[in-house]
Amino acid sequence: MKIILFELNEVPYKVIHHFCKLYPESNLAKILAKGRKYETYAEDTGHLSPWVTWPTVHRGITNEKHVISDFGQDLTEQEKQYPAIWNMLAKKGVKVGLFGSLHTHPLPQSIENFSFYVPDTFAAGSECFPKKLETFQKFNLSMARDNSRVVNNKIPGKEALQFLMKLPDMGMRFKTATEIAAQLVDERINKWKVIRRRTYQSIIGFDIFYKQLETHKPEFVTFFTNHVASSQHRYWAAAFPEDYENLKLGREWVETYNGEIIYTMKKADEMIGRLKKFIEKNPEYSLWILSGMGQQAVEAREIYTDLFITNGRKFMENFNLDSRHYELKPSMVPQFNVQIHVDKRKEFEEKLATLRINDQPVSFRQKAEGFYSLDIGFPNLDESKIKIELLGQMIPLIYSGMANVKIQDRCGATAYHIPQGSLIIYAPITGLNGNDVATISTTDIAPSILRNFNIPVPDYMSKGIPIWDATPRPASTSNTRYLLRTKNSLFPVTNSPILLSQKMRQ
């Protein structure tokens, strides 16, 4: 069968069941009733994050082999040893389309093997195939940079104008345009609703993706969206306050944001509904709704401000490095990634080891070939008392490249990653369904896709049975206490400490 892989990032069954209970006539509820259901498990070690777990899905091996851990990594060797599923399929002549899946920049050399190719929102450049989609990607990348931690109420002017002029040709619907207009009016009345701009970024992207899907009808196609995951991280405590023994965010905060996860799920449901109708017209397709991993409640606390890097160039000026000696790499706040020229790595690392913020050293990791990843995120600091020190010298905040940013929704991460995720396969023509849930590893997905297209599974991938032959088990209850995998241990999520709080905010 042809496959539409809808990557609904980090949405666990708890959220799916909650939504379907509230909306039993929704598209997702109908697909859940008729589709084959799996609880997936990410077997990756160390800190779980989507830029680690999705390569495991896409390559059929855990991070112990693919060693992908940050955006901007050079994946040349990984593509030689453990190529991504879309490149394997395209090489074998399968018609492939890709939209937003993680770690997809730069474009493959043999781009002519693809029907369309739009890299992820952390791409280092706006290159797309076909080229006309680059206008959307420029707008998309600009919005992602401006709205990562705090939503900017300004729309990037040049990119927006170019984008708007090409909307009809790229596929954005009139319905979406009117909804965006209504959103802009609504957020002027209810200023807190500016946070919903993150969701509209995915809605616009889906319109453009759907036009490509209808036009080219690839045999294998992906679409990635993070809009529900982003809402879960922030507003889980508002949707599920009963998950917390001591919720410190207050009734007003809960009442303001308790509908935000459902709001984002409604928008995902509309996307799923359009794909459902597409499959009714094109029954040779199946729809795979996959989360990669899941989320569960963690300690929730109010965050009024957060100190992080807002100007990478200004930050690097403090290390007295010429711009020729480094390259800023894509990252998600509070991370900051940079590639250092070989002649300057020792100097940079020695200086970096002296960086202190309020007398605390800054955590960083060195990757191969001079790739450095810094973790800078300090919540609730008194701006008048912020002390930044480098090489024993004090750096004024205004020259640091950092800012103590006011957090509009007053929260950090109220939910965080767990290994358990969800997969629903909807293929009505096959009769593939089941009321129970089968358990599979995320490494089982890529080899099953290869088998679907009669392509031999390479030796390094799992040789288990296809996932549709996995033995079902009774579905998990929503009260399951999952374990969160960290670098050093496994412990119950609800009993965890602050849980790497500087790494959690997405």
Q: What does the block give as tokens for 39?
A: 């609880």
Is residue 274 within 8 Å of residue 210, measured between CB atoms?
yes
Query: Any idea what the Cα angle at residue 223 is, between residues 36 and 118, rounded to 5°?
Result: 160
The length of the chain in residues reads: 506
Tens-place pLDDT, residues 309-351: 999 999 999 999 999 999 998 888 888 999 999 999 999 999 9
What gap in Å lies between CA 396 and CA 387, rounded to an integer?
Answer: 8
Residues 6 or more apart whose CB falls under 8 angstroms from that of 38 comprise 422, 423, 424, 425, 437, 438, 439, 440, 467, 470
Contact between 272 and 28 (Cβ < 8 Å): yes
* End-to-end Cα distance, the chain: 35
- pLDDT beneath 50: ranges in the chain: 147-150, 475-506
Side chain identity at 277, as an amino acid letter?
K
Domain over 2-301+413-504 is classified CATH 2.40.50.140:
no
Q: What is the pLDDT of residue 410?
A: 79
Task: Write out pLDDT tens, residues 253-310.
Answer: 999 999 999 999 999 999 999 999 999 999 999 999 999 999 999 988 888 899 999 9
What residues form DSSP beta bridges with 422? 39
Residue 466, both tokens: 């296809």
Give the list of residues 6+ apart from residue 48 with CB closer than 8 angstroms, or none.
42, 293, 417, 418, 419, 484, 485
Instruction: Provide the pLDDT for residue 490.
Output: 30
DSSP 484: E
Beta bridge partners of 335: 375
- What pLDDT does residue 51 have? 93
